[in-house]
Structure 1
Amino acid sequence: MVKDFFKELSRVLSKHDIETAPPERNALPILINGRSACHVEPSGYMCIFPGDIRSPEASELYHKVAPFSMEVREYLTAIERAPLLEAEALDEDFRLLAEFNGTVLAGRETEYGYMFVTWQRDYKGTGVEDGEYYLDGYAAAKADFAIRSGLVEKQRLFSDAQLLDIYQGINDTFDAGYDLTPTDQKNLIGIQSQIEGLLPDIREQIASLQRVNMEAAQEQSM
């Protein structure tokens, strides 16, 4: 399990341009410019070794990696412990992660990553239908399962785009210099921290959007 966890976490982090090194001392090194900034333990928790570099960039990377680490650990553990999904006419083996109110959440490893699916049980209850597929989309699959099963009302969930708008709106509020009370500031910072936990790369997304908007403005001015 530990070897699989480090391998999968390295794969996921590489998709977000985060560099890792082969495991050492039973932990996965997370790198900045080839140097170790922090480590991930087999439990999924972050740790700092005595030789890890300390800097604002290293601290930011530490907090950026943590949500990915915990999510990977969660779904690998869930898939390892889950029984096979029993359903007629399925061409591939899926693990049953959750089932409620006729809705199924299942997952399996593929050569391209981990696939998660939500299905509805058919009228006989022996098969599944109306699948929604999420490659490397564990969080999205869980949210879809919660909505389709009726565990959570759709109106209570925000999309990634909506969370991005909320985060940027808070930034704009701070930049505008409004006279906020300490309580207001604390609450807004807390909301941003929650969003960062859901979207670890949100700062990169905002920076990318700002570059696109700046380039568009420059083209219009020519």
Structure 2
Amino acid sequence: MLSDVKASTKYLEELSRQLRSQGLTVHPRESRDIDVELDGSTLCRINDLGNLGYFADKIAGKEAILDRIRDMARSTREYMTLLEQAPPLKADGLEDGYQLLAEFNGTVLAGHMTRYGAQFVTWEWVRNKTSLWQGHYYDPNGHPDSYQSAKRDFAVRSGLLPACALFKQEQLAEVYRSIHETLDGDIPLTDERRKTLESAAGQIEEGVPDLEERVAVSAGRERELSLHLDHADTLEGMGGVSF
């Protein structure tokens, strides 16, 4: 567990980096908590155990952001605990500092701390498990979901799950949109089907932290396409040509 002061401090430092990468403002406190702000308003407070507290009146309309922060706090605490406890990964040509987080069927998931935050890599063992090759790197600050992406990659590369069993985040966002188009439409639905679709939508909400942003981008592109097609139809009706 992240029990000592040093480990707790590292956790809050890493979480703060992740939060700032999402445009949030972080204020460390003397009590080893951090306050998280958006647009000058405090959204929540997170302690060194990853527990999150907030005032309901301050997060009205920002529930999705709060859920995103909660997911980041939980995920960051998980991998920081693993990095603290995991054994070192040793291989020919591999620099020191990598921790072995998981290993299965000749595939490894490793991580290490850099000056920019935690980095995760999946490799395959070669030469009688003395060397590693074909590293897939998930860099810090590239995306706050690097750890989750590395875990999915490890599951597929190691054979724990077939690639077809895992949907990409953008695919799930489109499935989510389609589900709500069905739920909100005029098509009659049985109670059983409605409950199934609502359950599926809830699972996607849990599994895609930035779902709201992905849905907004997808919907925006369709609005642009619709405007473009309407404009083209208008020009065609007028006998004009658009270049």
Range of TM-score over shorter length: 0.7 to 0.9
Matches within 5 A, 1:55-204: 55-136=59-140, 137-204=146-213
In the alignment, which of 11, 16, 20 is matched to residue 26 of structure 2?
Answer: 20
Once the two structures are TM-superposed, the CA of residue 55 in structure 1 deviates from its matched residue by 4.3
- Aligned residue pairs total 220
Q: Which has the larger radius of gyration?
A: 2
Q: Deviation per CA, 1:134-183, whole angstroms, max 9, x where unpaired?
A: 11411111111111112222222111122112111112112323323444
Measured at CA, do residues 20 and 191 of structure 1 come closer, stay the same or move farther in structure 2, by a change above 3 Å? farther
Say whether the 8 Å CA contact 2:90–2:96 is kept in structure 1. no
Change (3 A) 1:56 1:24: farther
Is there any run of 5+ residues in structure 2 with no aligned partner, and where?
1-6, 141-145, 233-243
Task: Give the superposed CA RMSD.
Answer: 2.2
How much does 1:76 deviate?
Answer: 0.9
Q: Offset at 1:65? A: 1.3
Assess, with a 3 A threshold, how the Cα gap between structure 1 residues 57 and 7 changes in structure 2: closer, same or farther.
Answer: farther
CA positional deviation for 1:193: 2.4
Amino acid paired to 2:178: G
Deviations 1:37-96 (A, max 9, x none): 2222322232235xx644432433322211111111111111111111010111353111
Q: TM-score when scaled to structure 2? A: 0.80
**Structure 1: gaps of 5 or more residues:** none
What's the secondary structure of 1:39's corresponding residue?
strand
Cα distance change, pair 36–83 in 1 and its aligned pair in 2 (3 A): same
- The sequence identity of aligned pairs, in percent, is 34
Q: Is the counterpart of residue 8 in structure 1 residue 17 in structure 2? A: no
Letter in 2 for 1:186: K
Return structure 1 stretches of 4+ with deviation > 6 angstroms.
none
Rate the CA distance shift 1:132–1:55 in 2: closer, same or farther, 3 A. closer
User: In 1, Cα distance between the equivalents of 2:65 and 2:226?
Assistant: 31
Give, in angstroms, the shift of residue 210 of structure 1: 2.2
Output the TM-score relative to the length of structure 1.
0.87
